[in-house]
Each structure stands twice: as C-alpha cells, then as structure tokens.
C-alpha cells in the first residue's frame, strides 16, 4: 500500500492563515522524515469558514521547499475554472522546481460556489474536465509543438516553453466515481480516487472495472486508487476515541460542509448528497459527527496503530483502494496530538501495511 498526507488546510481556532500554513509545513516535514509516499492538498475557494487553500500550485512549491523526498500533488486543480494550458504550464514549471516530484491531480469540482465568481460552467464540468485531462496530458508529453482538437477547445501549433522533468509527463490523478470518466482514465493511464462519503460497497465494482480496463489498455504496473479519510492515531483505542469525539463534532458542525451564509456542516453535506441522488452518501454525512459510528464502519480510521492497521485492511479490501489519503489535522486538534498521530501512523501503521496489496 501507499500513504499520503492529505490536507484541506481547514481553518483552525486561534490561528491566522500564516500560522496555519507554517503548521502545515511542519506536518509535511515530519511526514517526509517518516516515509510517507505523497502529500496532497485540495483547491477550495471563497469560504473562509472551511478551507484556506485556493492555490494548490503554491502549496506544491512550498511543500517541496520543506521536504526532501515526498511526492507532492494537487488534488486537484479544478479544471473547469481554467484553460487547460494554464494547468499544463504550471505543472511543467512545478515539476522542474520540485526536481521531478510532482503528482498532478485534476478534479471537476463539486461545489457550485467555486464556479460563480470565476464565471465558470458548472453544468458542463464533467465534459470540461475530461477534455482537460486529455489536453493537459498531450501538452506535457509532446516534444515539440502540439495541436489538439476537442469538442470544447482547440489548440493549434502550440509550443510549451517549459517541459516537465518527468517523462513523458508527471503522474496524473483524477478523483472520480463516474463509470464513463473512469473508463477514460483507464485508457489514458490516469490514477483515481474517492472519499469516505462515497459508500465503498456501491462503487467497488466500478473500480474493479477500471482496473480491468487499465490492464486491457496495456499500461505498465497497477494504477493507484486513493481514498481520502480522517485519521487519528494514539497509543490506545480508548485515548484515540476520547480525543477524536470532540474533534469530529467540531469539524462537522463548524468547518467541513459549512458555508459563509451559515448552516451546520454535516446537515448541509447530507442535503447536498440527497440533491445529487446519493442517499448512501447522505447517510454517512448525517452520522459524520459521531466518531464511534464512523470508526465502527471504517469510515474514519481511529485507534491504536494495531487497530488502525486492521481498519485499513478491511476498508481497502472492500473499497478497492491502495493509497490512504489521510487527513490528520482535524479541525480544532492541538499540535501535540496532531504530530503524535502523524508519527504513530508513520512508525507503526505504514510499516505494517507496506506489503499489503488490496488488488
């Protein structure tokens, strides 16, 4: 298995943005030292109550400056907000600045609030994203000028001023559970992933089909499938749960899912899932404030290192993922508890799961 430090860069009580970013670099330096494989961050906009990370490219550059070996990525650039060439050019520069450590994540975006101020097309976000994936890959892979003709955009005889250091291009990721998008990703050799609010039993068949199509396409090796989830590790199960309970309550009432105009986080998450026709996701969201409920269903990894190892094995086998995208900085968590959790995961959980292969 593989392991990522994942961050929404949620706002923290008593911290301004500068202090929050400084804490993030300390987290990544520790993860780098402990042997984590990746670090990823989101791109979220216009909601100071939730994420303070609207610029994942700057995150990548700064994360690289504070680490030596971690592979660092966006998860991801919201494709419909930008021209694909902008994404490609930033990626090429970043890969050189980072000496070949970039993982390029692209997403379609799920929150309409991000799109309005950018005058972006929310209704056609899937088509825009799928076309962007192909265009960005082509732009990064061509040795000379390239021409691209898609249903939405065309580029004629374009030459990239900077080429990525990794050849033919940095590894690419697109988080998706849509069957047609997954088929495209398998053909193009693009990694994928999903989050804990998606019922694993519902989507596992789609990821098995993605694996089959990847193999049929003739790509070398296996793809990576990520799973974003909240993680808290402590010396004992009892200590871990005692610390996790108030963190989950605060996170899902005051941070994740909240909006500037108000509303309780977990309730809004549940409402949004119902609007999208996803009752399973709504059920998870309704219980997200209950750390015990989430732990018992392996929808959060909470406990001693031994317990967390078993939770991950069970969830990965059911949900067909090989990369844990672990969010440790849960809302109001103190730095001592945060760093202990990252350290215990790195010293006791990762080594126990290195040889475990869910697929």
The residues near 146 (Cβ < 8 Å, ≥ 6 apart) are 138, 139, 155, 157, 158, 159, 160
Does the pLDDT at position 331 exceed 60? yes
Which two tokens mark 267?
A: 């309730």
State whether residue 334 is helix, strand or coil. Answer: coil
Instruction: Give residue 260's pLDDT.
Output: 59
Q: What is the pTM of this model?
A: 0.96
Identify the band that residue 330 occupies on the pLDDT scale cut at 50, 70 and 90.
very high
Helix locations, 142-277, DSSP H: 179-188, 200-217, 237-250, 265-275
Mean pLDDT of 14-42: 98
Residues 197-243 have pLDDT tens digits of 999 999 999 999 999 999 999 999 999 999 999 999 999 999 999 99
Rounded Cα gap, residues 67 and 70, in angstroms: 6
pLDDT digits (tens, 9 = 90+) for 160-208: 999 999 999 999 999 999 999 999 999 999 999 999 999 999 999 999 9
Q: Residue ranges of the domains in the chain? A: 2-75+176-353
Q: 79-129: per-residue pLDDT in tens?
A: 999 999 999 999 999 999 999 999 999 999 988 888 989 999 999 999 999
Residue 18 has pLDDT above 80, yes or no: yes
For 243-300, how does the pLDDT look when each residue is reduced to its tens digit (9 = 90+)? 999 999 999 998 988 765 555 678 888 888 888 889 999 999 999 999 999 999 999 9
The residue-averaged pLDDT of 326-334 equals 97
Q: Evaluate the CA torsion angle 244, 245, 246, 248 in order and state its sign.
A: positive
Whole-number average pLDDT of the chain: 96
41-72: pLDDT as tens digits: 999 999 888 999 999 999 999 999 999 999 99
Please state which architecture CATH assigns to domain 2-75+176-353.
Answer: Alpha-Beta Barrel (3.20)
């Amino acid at each position: 298995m593989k392991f990522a430090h994942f961050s929404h860069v949620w706002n923290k009580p008593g911290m301004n943005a500068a202090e929050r970013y400084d804490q993030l670099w300390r987290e990544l330096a520790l993860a780098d030292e402990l042997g984590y494989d990746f670090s990823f961050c989101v791109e979220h906009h216009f909601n100071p109550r939730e994420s303070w990370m609207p610029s994942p490219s700057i995150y990548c550059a700064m994360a690289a400056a504070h680490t030596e070996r971690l592979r660092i990525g966006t998860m991801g650039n919201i494709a419909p907000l930008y021209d694909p060439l902008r994404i490609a050019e930033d990626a090429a520069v970043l890969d050189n600045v980072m000496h070949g450590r970039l993982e390029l994540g692209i997403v379609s975006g799920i929150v309409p609030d991000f799109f309005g101020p950018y005058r972006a097309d929310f209704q056609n976000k899937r088509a825009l994203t799928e076309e962007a994936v192909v265009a960005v890959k082509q732009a990064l892979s061509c040795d000379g000028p390239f021409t691209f003709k898609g249903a939405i955009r065309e580029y004629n005889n374009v030459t990239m001023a900077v080429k990525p250091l990794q050849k033919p291009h940095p590894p690419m990721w697109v988080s998706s559970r849509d069957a047609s998008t997954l088929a495209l990703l398998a053909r193009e050799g693009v990694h994928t992933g999903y989050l804990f609010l998606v019922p694993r039993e519902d989507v596992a068949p789609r990821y098995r089909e993605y694996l089959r199509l990847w193999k049929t396409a003739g790509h070398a090796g296996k793809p990576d499938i990520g799973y974003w989830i909240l993680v808290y590790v402590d010396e004992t199960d009892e200590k871990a749960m005692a610390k996790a309970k108030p963190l989950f309550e605060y996170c899902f009432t005051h941070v994740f899912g909240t909006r500037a105009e108000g509303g309780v986080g977990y309730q809004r998450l549940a409402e949004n899932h119902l609007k999208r026709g996803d009752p399973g996701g709504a059920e998870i969201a309704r219980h997200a404030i209950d750390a015990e409920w989430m732990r018992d269903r392996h929808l959060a990894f909470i406990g001693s290192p031994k317990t967390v190892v078993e939770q991950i094995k069970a969830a990965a086998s059911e949900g067909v993922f090989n990369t844990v995208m672990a969010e440790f900085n849960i809302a109001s968590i103190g730095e001592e508890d945060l760093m202990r959790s990252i350290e215990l995961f790195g010293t006791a959980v990762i080594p126990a799961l290195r040889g475990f292969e869910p697929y």
